[in-house]
């Protein structure tokens, strides 16, 4: 297993619609293991394949944060088959480090997909897991949580992000 570099906004891979996985071959097996390791190391509660530069329909999640691997979920070709209720909570994203904002999502979802062995699975979730599933499945559509915040918040985000990038570039220039 190895750690993968996480694609940072505005990397165009984050805007790509991820392709369906037709067969779980050795390269997908490897990608799953590497994404699990990368998620725990970050640390994050979820990671979509787009975020490591591979736009295929694969997400890993673990919202339990307690003992490692206790709540690990690997989902291939996930689809939301039912979504009900409404909830608003503060979200962040490993691809947009340091920025958090309130996002409104469905309270409960039912998601179907395949596990890493290719067996069909169905997950009925609420609370943090429901939010994380919606956030990760959005990634597979090229969608980010900043697309779901108000226009005013998004403007503030873009200005702040631009400033942060300029500061980063300046400090890199100072190194030589």
Give the residue numbers marked as catalytic: 136
Taking the least distance from each CB to Ni ion, the nearer of 32 and 93 is 93
Question: Rounded to an integer, what distance in angstroms lies between the CA atom of residue 175 and that of residue 8?
Answer: 22
Residue 92 neighbours by CB under 8 Å, 6+ apart: 99, 100, 145
Query: What character string, x for contact with Ni ion (CB under 5 A) and - otherwise, covers 47-86?
Result: ----------------------------------------
In contact, 38 and 52? CB cutoff 8 Å = yes
Residue whose C-beta lies closest to Ni ion: 93
Task: Identify which of residues 93 and 133 has a Cβ nearer to Ni ion in the complex.
Answer: 93
> Measured between alpha carbons, how far is 101 from 148 in angstroms, rounded to an integer?
10
User: How many positions of this chain bind Ni ion (CB under 5 A)?
Assistant: 1
Q: Pick the binder of Ni ion from 21, 39, 56, 93 (CB under 5 A).
A: 93
């Amino acid at each position: 297993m190895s750690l993968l570099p996480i694609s940072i906004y505005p990397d165009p891979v984050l805007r790509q619609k991820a392709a369906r996985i037709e067969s779980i071959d050795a390269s997908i097996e490897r990608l799953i293991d590497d994404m699990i390791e990368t998620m725990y190391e970050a640390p994050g509660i979820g990671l979509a394949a787009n975020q490591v530069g591979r736009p295929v329909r694969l997400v890993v999640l673990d919202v339990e944060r307690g003992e490692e691997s206790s709540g690990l979920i690997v989902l291939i070709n996930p689809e939301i088959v039912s979504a009900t209720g409404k909830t608003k909570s503060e979200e962040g994203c490993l691809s947009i480090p340091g920025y958090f904002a309130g996002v409104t999502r469905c309270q409960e979802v039912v998601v179907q997909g395949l596990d890493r062995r290719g067996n069909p699975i169905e997950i009925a979730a609420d609370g943090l897991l429901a939010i994380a599933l919606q956030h990760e499945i959005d990634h597979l559509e090229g969608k980010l949580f900043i697309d779901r915040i108000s226009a005013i918040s998004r403007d503030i985000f873009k200005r702040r992000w631009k400033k942060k990038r300029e500061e980063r570039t300046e400090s890199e220039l100072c190194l030589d």
